[in-house]
Amino acid sequence: MEFATSPPPYVVAGVTVPRVMLQVLLALVPVAAAQVYLFGTGPLRLLAIAGTTALACEALALRLRRRSVPLALSDGSVLVTAALLALAVPPLLPAWLMAFGTAVAVLIGKHAYGGLGQNPFNPAMVGYAVLLVSFPLEMTRWPPSGPEWDAVTGATALDALRTGLRQSFTMEEVRAGIEFGRVGAAGGEWVNLAALAGGLYLLLRRVIRWHIPVAMLAGLAVPAAAAHALDPGGHAGAAFHLASGATMLGAFFIATDPVSAATSDRGRLLFGAGIGLLTWLIRSWGGYPDGVAFAVLLMNLAVPLVDRWTVPRIHGHAPD
């Protein structure tokens, strides 16, 4: 008996881009909720601006490229980019800066390279890096958590720690500031905990794999713990770094981008560890308080080399 077959592959796993993007957006809900609780309605305003701008820029780019606008907009990928960027910037960021950063992320970070599945860099981090380099003051002033969030702005805990230590203050004196909580940054502890909860949801749903998050957190925690053990007065410990900045958001949502990350399991471990180590180095000696965005972009740049080292060679084919 003959059976009519279609071209391979023949196994359908039921995993589609819209379904994956929906799961990621659902996992980001705890992060958004934590930010709204701590900082007021600013994050919701930024999410609305970023989402609207992202959809408009996506439609414009698709129209110019003569692609199907409704089909591409329905996959939800551009909304994930917008949400990640909106949740990574300060809640009081001016609306025009949020729109500008989102436009850069979509038009340059994504469509300049060919659109979904072609971008070598994480689009959200491209937009974030451009904003941070171009408007450092606006991008490093966060409101303190609490009811006074709309009246006072201040430096982040990472920035306050770096500045204080460079001014020869002791760790105890620096950590006495209002920017710090019990473990990490005031408020940032809860945001990171919310991102960790969302990341565990993605792991349980098998949307992401464990290699990159675990390697990134280890790559950050191990050198931080070692430096703190050698010089407790000059370096914060692992717990502080894990509970501050965009650590958990970066580990579970940003670094795990399947397009711009490494391919093999060994490559993902090396990729994640590199992001963690670079994050610690930038936080400790770099010119910016948090190094997650730059660390991700630098390791995105190194992905071809990582894949060359770690992806098994096809039998019978010579190395490239």
pLDDT at 70: 77
DSSP, collapsed to helix, strand or coil, labels residue 297 as helix
pLDDT at 18: 83
Is residue 165 in a domain? yes
Which regions in the chain score pLDDT beneath 50?
A: 1, 3, 9-11, 147-154
Is residue 1 in a domain? no
Is residue 73 in a domain? yes
Tokens read off for 199: 């990341």
On whether both 122 and 31 belong to a single domain, the answer is: yes
On whether both 161 and 286 belong to a single domain, the answer is: yes
Q: Which long-range contacts (C-beta less than 8 Å, at least 24 apart) are formed by 201-208?
A: 201/23, 201/26, 201/27, 202/23, 202/24, 202/27, 202/252, 202/253, 202/256, 203/252, 205/23, 207/20, 207/23, 207/24, 207/27, 208/252, 208/256
On whether both 168 and 56 belong to a single domain, the answer is: no
Number of domains making up the chain: 2
Is residue 149 in a domain? no
On whether both 131 and 219 belong to a single domain, the answer is: no
Is residue 143 in a domain? no
On whether both 43 and 110 belong to a single domain, the answer is: yes
Condensed to tens digits (0 to 9), the pLDDT of residues 88-114 reads 999 989 999 999 999 999 999 999 888
pLDDT at 147: 44
DSSP, collapsed to helix, strand or coil, labels residue 142 as strand
On whether both 128 and 46 belong to a single domain, the answer is: yes
pLDDT at 319: 53
pLDDT at 163: 74
On whether both 298 and 256 belong to a single domain, the answer is: yes
Is residue 287 in a domain? yes
On whether both 187 and 300 belong to a single domain, the answer is: yes
On whether both 105 and 194 belong to a single domain, the answer is: no
H or E element: which one contains 249? Answer: helix 247-249
Q: Give the length of the chain.
A: 320
On whether both 170 and 294 belong to a single domain, the answer is: yes
Structural domain range at position 248: 157-306
Is residue 254 in a domain? yes
Domain stop point among 137, 172, 198: 137
pLDDT at 291: 87
Tokens read off for 10: 């023949």
Contact of 202 with 27, CB cutoff 8 Å: yes
Distance CA(145)–CA(123), nearest Å, equals 28
On whether both 93 and 127 belong to a single domain, the answer is: yes
b/e sequence 98-125, b meaning 16+ C-beta within 10 Å: bbbbbbbbbbbbbbbeebbeebebbbbb
Is residue 48 in a domain? yes
On whether both 256 and 121 belong to a single domain, the answer is: no
